[in-house]
Structures are given as structure tokens and as C-alpha cells.
Chains A and B, each alone.
Chain A
């Protein structure tokens, strides 16, 4: 509430006064802001990496590695189909769908195994069983469509 009030006040008072001097100020503040923006970003990323490596359980990190690998395989296939052409289209669809589906299923497993998420009464063993069952059904379809 307080913050809102002050914002309104500055808007009402300085609307005309700031307009004349804003050009110089803007240039200076931008340079400072840019510098601090880059360093800010760097510190943000390092902080993110630090937090990730220290607080994320190792199992989730392993799943993340799998997710990254699967995503790369999907991208490679997409580049391949653009370069080579769509001829065995069903094979492309099947291979690409395998990457996407594997990613989705592993992401779901990761969400359910993450101790910070509350999935009601679902146990980690239950989540894993779900993952395995869905994966088996999914790969059945994929291989069938692969041609």
C-alpha cells in the first residue's frame, strides 16, 4: 500500500520537471545499469549453479542429465530432417516423438521425485512404477510406427 502511494506522488509531482533533464541522466544511469546488469547476470548464473549443485539431490541431477541428452537428440533429428528431407516421414515422426515423449515422461518422474513438490500420497516407488508403465506403452507405439 505504501509503495503505491509514493509512486503516485512522484508521478504527479515530477511529470514536467523530469522531462527536461532526463536525457543526460538516462545515458549515465544506463551505462551504470549495463555494467551492473552484466555483473548481476553473471552473479545470478553462478548463484544458480551453486544452488543447483549444492541443494539439488543427486538423483534429480542425474535425471536432468538424461533430459538434456534427450533434448539434444531431438534437436539433432530436427536438423537432420531439415537437411535430408522428410522421406521416411513415419520414421522421423517416430524418432522425434520418442525424444519428446521420453523427455515428458522423465520430466514427470523428476517432478514426482522432487521432495519439494507435494504429490499428495504418491510414493516415489509409485511414481517410478508409473514412469516405467507409461514408458513401456509409449515405446511400444514408437517401435510400431518406426517402420
Chain B
């Protein structure tokens, strides 16, 4: 069946199977930042933003995404660069496999929670697994990003 997906403000006419998951469609369309992890909605590696909500694309039907705003890390551009620099500065960026979904998760978190504290950050990102780090670096990086990039160095 043919559907229209709006990804990072760009419309794609694409033919999908009825039971095709968004992860597979996005990768087929060239959004290779969207990675397959556990494929059971548990690890968060495949997360994208749909209508400003973080969802696991491995379990989200492509046909359901029609008419919605899909955001991947490719659509974040400058914000992704700034978050990426904070992550790198804190040594979080190691294998890099979880980084695209983590950046999208940080983006949706900061849309939803205006000034989250450490506990709120930990809770929001609990479903985003990173097998390289111990997550402390993530918290430092997000704090740095919020203080330097969002609050003008405050």
C-alpha cells in the first residue's frame, strides 16, 4: 500500500507492507541514523520523534505514521551538533550506535520537560540503553548542553 510519510519536513511517497515497521521504512528511505537494536521496544536504539513524542520505530507501524511529523537525528542539524559536542566532551561518544536515538530522546525530553533535574533526566532516558558508558557521562553532557547551549552559559 502507498502512504505518504513526512520525515524531517520532507514528504516521501512510499509503498509499504501492511505490517511493516517504521524502522524498516525509514532505513529504506535512507535515514540510516535509525538503528535496529533489540527489535522488542526495550533498548531505545531505534527511537524517533513522532508528533513530538519519543517512540520505538521498531514497533511502530509505518501506516500509522501517515499524517504525522517524524523527526530523526538528520532533521535536528545544529541542535544535534551541539548535543553531540557535549556528549563527546564527556566521553560518552564511544561506539556511537546509540547516539542518534539518544540525541532525539534528549530533544524530546527538553521539549517536554523545560528544566529537568538529574532524577528526571535519569527517569526519562531509562529506556535508552548504552552499552559503552555508565550513564553518568550522559547526565554531565546533558547538564552541560542545558547550561551552555540552552541557557546561554548560565
Tell me, yes or no, whether A binds B: no
Which residues of B does A touch, CB under 8 Å? none
